[in-house]
Amino acid sequence: MPELPEVEVTRLSFAERIAGAQVVAVRVGAPLRWPLGCRPANLIGRTVGAVTRRGKYLWLPLEGHAQSRGGLLLHLGMSGSLAFNAAERTTAAGRHDHFDLVTTRGVLRLTDPRRFGAVVWSAAIDTAPATTLLARLGYEPFDAALTPSTFHAALRRRRTAVKTALLAGDIVVGAGNIYACEALFAAGIDPRVRCDRLSRPRAERLLASVRATLARALELGGSSLRDFRDTHGIDGAYQLEAQVYGREGHPCQRCGGSVRRIVQAQRSTFFCPRCQKR
Ligand SMILES: [Zn+2]
């Protein structure tokens, strides 16, 4: 599943190149998670603005004539990828290519075998349906407004296990399964600890660890972008460096004890019971 670092690196891979391009054609393939919400022809003639990211959504502003604003909210779902091909002008699509935005600078294409991805029209990022889709997102991980106190206060209001709260993304977005497991290991916190039982110093350490794991993934993504122009596999590359994720039964690289796997909210959690305290 593409996590926040992959989505951000995807954004970086085409945002500058597509800005200012004009939409010349749109091809909609098999239905995605939600309908487009406008006639594809309505997008033609519009100009692409600055692409931004919120959580795992990308916002592609499309400005039309005379005050006519709007844009597309894109999500990669479970298996989607977005590629901008500057050489393309046509849309000879494969069976998993479900959306093409053909512009004067190239084709932006969503490929998504499992079709949990989405491309949704919204008149603005702060009106429906965008607001509905973005409503439950927590802070961006590097938002300066997310201070250790804010984070600790938000944790105090929840009784769920801390790992589950990180995955839910309603306090802070971006800590997908790999990153949540690794951040908790780095912070020395047992993933089963209830949020409201975490002390302020431990919350502060956890926030710093979430930021460090995501920063490292973005760094790996940055190098893959430079070397391969390919945003795939950042989470996989990060996993190669993982201390606990995917390492059930292997020795903990810090204490030599055995890494354990448990299931929390239907997702695997990997942790070291010796290094991570309750
Ligand atoms: Zn250990």
At 129-150, the pLDDT tens digits run 999 999 999 999 999 999 999 9
Q: How many A from CA of 66 to the centre of ligand 1?
A: 61
Q: Residue 74's beta-bridge partner residues?
A: 58, 119
Query: 55: closest CA among 172, 184, 229, 212?
Result: 172
3 belongs to the catalytic site: yes
Q: How many A from CA of 278 to the centre of ligand 1?
A: 14
Query: Is 194 buried (19+), middle (13-18) or exposed (0-12) by CB count in 10 A?
Result: middle
Residues with CB under 5 A from ligand 1 (ion): 252, 254-255, 257, 272, 274-275
CA distance 184 to 181: 5
Which residues have a Cβ under 8 Å from the Cβ of 132 and sit 6 or more positions away?
none
Element (H, E) at 120: strand 118-122
Q: Do residues 165 and 171 lie in contact, with contact meaning Cβ atoms separated by under 8 Å?
A: yes
Q: CA quadruple 205, 208, 214, 219: dihedral positive or negative?
A: negative
Catalytic residue among 11, 46, 53, 56: 56
277 belongs to the catalytic site: no
Q: How many A from CA of 200 to the centre of ligand 1?
A: 23
Strands (E), 9-96: 23-28, 47-48, 52-54, 57-63, 71-75, 81-85
- DSSP 8-state secondary structure symbol assigned to residue 43: G
pLDDT at 229: 46
Sort strands 57-63 and 52-54 into parallel, antiparallel or unpaired.
antiparallel
148 belongs to the catalytic site: no
Indicate the pTM of the whole model.
0.92
Q: What is the pLDDT along the chain (278 residues), one digit of tens a residue?
A: 889 999 999 999 999 999 999 999 999 988 899 999 999 999 999 999 999 999 999 999 999 877 788 999 999 998 899 999 887 766 678 889 999 999 999 999 999 988 899 999 999 999 999 999 999 999 999 999 999 999 999 999 999 999 999 999 999 999 999 999 999 999 999 999 999 999 999 999 999 999 999 999 998 886 665 544 455 567 777 888 899 999 999 999 999 999 999 999 999 999 999 999 99
Catalytic residue among 261, 267, 273, 274: 267
Q: How many A from CA of 195 to the centre of ligand 1?
A: 22
